[in-house]
Structure 1
Amino acid sequence: MGMFVSRLGDSLFTFAIPWIAYKLTQSSMIMGSMYAVSVLPIVLFGPVVGSLVDRWERKKLMIVTDIARALLVALIPILHLLGLLQLWHLYVISFMLTILSLMFDVSIVAIIPSLVPNQLTRANASYQLTNQIAELAGPLLAGALIVSIGGFNALWIDTVSFLGTLIVLILMPSFVTPKSLTGLSQIFKDIGEGFRWLVRSKINLSFSFQAMIGNFGYSAAFGVLMFYLLNTLQLDAQQSSLNYTLLGFGGIIGSLLAVPLENRFRRGVLIPMLLAFGTIGFLFAASSQFWLAPGLAFFAVTVCNVAWNTIVTSVRQETIPSDMIGRVLGFSRVLTRLAMPLGAMTGAALSEWADPRAVFIVAAGAKALEVIIALATPIRKL
């Protein structure tokens, strides 16, 4: 329940920031670069964050990051009220928020095996379901709030929403304190250990490369989604929010389907099936001018991605030692996010200089490559 309140606020932020950027600049390049900057810290600091998650007490780390994120989000409307807000402020705040969110999210994945060691897929599906319900309701709420009180004021609600997880974390018992962090040399040692473990684990490395290619295509499409809705399809705020809402609805379906599908199909068969479904979704967006076509396409892709992520997270938790999960996931996320800034900028360039629907063709091609990876690597043997 705490996560639901917090994620609801996060979805407001996800919708409001590109809206604010568009209203300030009317540029798809700015929107694409904003999305790129928001994922760049994962590439730069992912291994360091993984080391910190393994070395620091995870409950305290999550509390600190929760408070810091609330203060950063509040800074945007404060600067706006003072008449001081500039575009570079949005870049810096997005950059810092990504680092803090990475710490928080990796910590959650790391503590789930301690809470429910024998029901990992069900627990991960429940966690995904909570996130996706919030993402479903968030854009609808964001669209209504932006129309009624404005995008900047909507961010105040996101600030308050961090109390959802903060209260629960304060009440939650502490977990076992990991080994202490002795200095910078220990961080580099941890990074090396995480890298070597990931390289030796062929199944986890295959997942990382697969996600890297898929994230390139997804980022190309998602990074300019708001521009495509507002500029190409010329939708209003409410219509745009309905398209975004379908992303959350697809996530709910994906999280609900993960467990029954895993019970029915072998993982090595299920994973390429899910990815093929996402490929079809992007192809539909490229071929249709219907105003809800982008939302329906992302609905299909999000069903695929959430179910895939639920299953893959369970595999990682089953195969990665608990005291190394932060380091391995931190380095894995470098690979999986490495192509996201390039994808976002590619999508922005295509939207600016060519037919915006070409972005969906690129995304569909990346999804098809994911299917090939699933069939040609140890993933097929799961």
Structure 2
Amino acid sequence: MSTLFRNKAFLIVTGSDLLQNLAIWIRNMAILYYVMDQTQGNPIAVSLITVLEYAPIFVFSIIGGALADRWNPKRTMIIGDILSALSIVMIIAVLSSGYWQILYVATFVSSIVSQFSQPSSVKIVKRNVEEEHVQSAIAITQSGQSLFLILGPIVGTFIYTVMGIQTSMYALLILFIASAILLTFLPKDSAQQETETSLLADIKEGWQYVGQSRSLKMLSLVFICVGLSSGLISPLEIFLITERLGLEQTSLQFLSGVSGLGLLIGGGIAAAFSGKMNQTLTLIVGVMCLVVTTMGEVLSSWFWLTLVISFLSSISLAFINVIISTYLVTQIDERLIGRVNGTITPLFMGAMLLGSSMAGVIMNNTSLFIVYVISVTVMILSILPGMRIEFGKQNAPVNTLNPEVAHQAVD
């Protein structure tokens, strides 16, 4: 692992990710509190924040992934931070005139930019980190993100409550500019290969790449199952606190904090033992542990036990995330990483939002326990395609496939 901490590109990308994560949490908390204050807690106004955060994923992830494969990844990430900074400048200027609705633009722009920056970040890691260290690199990055799941709400809440919305926006501006400056120190990218194909042809090539690989098709099914399962229970966690445990809704912050701590420690353990893990076995065991802990959460009637179970659940989720992310970085042809990401991500998000939209309806007609049972059942179904993912085999580039032997090359 010490090799990673001497890798300039990895350190810079990780540093940029940390700055952006801090900015996102300051933005999330500031906009949430400010919208609550301005609308007297209007649930539609508050839910619109989530809609504007996730809606661009459907619209831009496919296009963004294809364009990220065409563009210079270093330049793409820098331009993304600059655009985010410029949007904050506009918001600061408009806020002073009293049009607070402009804050929604911050969420919308940030979500759009991430659809271009995220696959570019993955390409830089693939280019500059040796394959045997990729799993550790991903685990370390995930641990950093988990740390902000714990600290982010605290920092964001402090800045907003003590210094207000304007200061929160200035903090965002500083962080995005700092990230852009940091990214300029990345190693110079080799020139992007010119392409004469259209953007639509590039997108179709990404779909074809996924469609011709049995492992990627199985991974897509895993994403759909996990997304649907997660979507069913994520909106209802508050009811574990209020209905199951009979506590005040503010106690949810402790559940979130423990989950973040579990992801942080789980990512650290995965990084330490990444070279010794059987990826297929780790994925299956991780899903089974997630099944057991998810049922444990809804069955528990003691707060401390729920916290312990949530902590163990997050550790399992950390291992699953590391395994899947490692596969996407190491086994996908570099020139297609963006398009593969843009093909698979909407499947996960669509399934998650579908589950979220059904969760309340199912609970109203049955019970919280039944929703969790359905979620766990869907999660168990993900094991079947998960067992058919061949983690050790490199996916062949689409343009080298002979139709007569394609299935042999990619399976």
Distance in 2 between the 1:21 and 1:292 partners? 33
In our comparison, the structure showing a higher alpha carbon Rg is: 2
**Cα offsets for 1:216-274 (capped at 9, x unmatched):** 232343346579769984344xx444333223212212211224454444211110111
Any conservation in 2 of the 1:220–1:359 contact (CA below 8 Å)? Answer: yes
Match of 1:106 among 119, 128, 138: 119
Q: C-alpha displacement at 1:195, in angstroms?
A: 0.6
Any conservation in 2 of the 1:261–1:270 contact (CA below 8 Å)? Answer: no
Aligned to 2:84: 69
Amino acid at match of 2:70: R
**Cα offsets for 1:82-105 (capped at 9, x unmatched):** 33223xx56554333222112111
Match of 1:4 among 13, 18, 41: 18
Q: Is the alpha carbon distance of 1:205 and 1:300 closer, same or farther for their aligned partners in structure 2, counting shifts above 3 Å?
A: farther
Distance in 1 between the 2:156 and 2:241 partners? 15
Whether 2:218 is the aligned partner of 1:206: answer yes
Q: C-alpha displacement at 1:367, in angstroms?
A: 2.6
Distance in 1 between the 2:247 and 2:324 partners? 35
Whether 2:138 is the aligned partner of 1:124: answer yes
Q: C-alpha displacement at 1:192, in angstroms?
A: 0.8
Whether 2:260 is the aligned partner of 1:245: answer no
Distance in 2 between the 1:299 and 1:245 partners? 9
Q: Is the alpha carbon distance of 1:312 and 1:78 closer, same or farther for their aligned partners in structure 2, counting shifts above 3 Å?
A: same
- Identical aligned residues as a percent: 19
Whether 2:98 is the aligned partner of 1:83: answer yes
Distance in 2 between the 1:136 and 1:271 partners? 25
**Cα offsets for 1:288-338 (capped at 9, x unmatched):** 455677765554443233322222222222221111211122212122222
- 1:1-382 mapped onto 2 (5 Å cutoff): 1-20=15-34, 24=39, 26=41, 34-72=49-87, 81-86=96-101, 89=102, 93-118=106-131, 119-149=133-163, 154-180=168-194, 186-223=198-235, 233-236=247-250, 239-288=251-300, 298-349=310-361, 360-375=372-387, 377-378=388-389
Q: Is the alpha carbon distance of 1:343 and 1:328 closer, same or farther for their aligned partners in structure 2, counting shifts above 3 Å?
A: same
Amino acid at match of 2:175: S
Aligned to 2:406: none
Distance in 2 between the 1:11 and 1:279 partners? 29
**Cα offsets for 1:137-172 (capped at 9, x unmatched):** 212323444544457754543343223421211222
How many residues align structurally? 375
Any conservation in 2 of the 1:216–1:342 contact (CA below 8 Å)? Answer: yes
Distance in 1 between the 2:379 and 2:28 partners? 23
Distance in 2 between the 1:29 and 1:69 partners? 25
Amino acid at match of 1:8: L
Q: Is the alpha carbon distance of 1:291 and 1:18 closer, same or farther for their aligned partners in structure 2, counting shifts above 3 Å?
A: farther
Distance in 2 between the 1:310 and 1:267 partners? 10
Any conservation in 1 of the 2:74–2:124 contact (CA below 8 Å)? Answer: no
| TM superposition score normalised by structure 1 | 0.83
Q: Which has the higher contact order (CA 8 A, sep 6+)?
A: 1
Distance in 1 between the 2:281 and 2:367 partners? 35
| TM superposition score normalised by structure 2 | 0.77
Return 5+ residue gaps in structure 2 as ranges.
Answer: 1-14, 394-411
Secondary structure in 2 matching 1:339: helix
